[in-house]
Amino acid sequence: MADDKRNFALRDGTGDESSVFSGRTPRQAALKAARRLDPAGSESAANKTELRLREKGTKKVHIYDGWAWEENAPDDKPDWMPNEITEANVSKKGIEHLEEI
């Protein structure tokens, strides 16, 4: 398989799946989801939010804490890039197995 991307559905507390993020690893998909969070002024001020990502086609839910913050863009940024960019990070908490989907 040339394209090893997998799809992960973002789940809310009620089990509704609102968005799908793709990535080679669950962490890559979690980072994409975290960048959509409301960014704080700095990484130390960012609030952690629980992200629950179910791998499509499985009953595995990958659970992460994610946070996002604003940062100045690098000096060698391309012209189209804004001066402020959103950075994100995640920390894995575990995996949960669903009884049913």
Q: Is residue 31 part of a domain?
A: yes
Which string of DSSP letters, residue by residue, matches 22-59? Answer: EESSHHHHHHHHHTTS--BSSGGGPPPEEEEEEETTSS
Q: How many domains does the chain have?
A: 1
Tokens of 22: 């793709």
Q: Is residue 22 part of a domain?
A: yes
Q: Using alpha carbons, list the distances in angstroms from residue 71 to 54, 75, 82, 84.
A: 29, 12, 11, 6
pLDDT digits (tens, 9 = 90+) for 60-79: 999 999 999 999 999 999 99
Domain containing 11 equals 6-38+46-68+89-97
Q: Is residue 84 part of a domain?
A: no
pLDDT digits (tens, 9 = 90+) for 17-61: 989 999 999 999 999 999 999 999 999 999 999 999 999 999 999
Q: Is residue 10 part of a domain?
A: yes
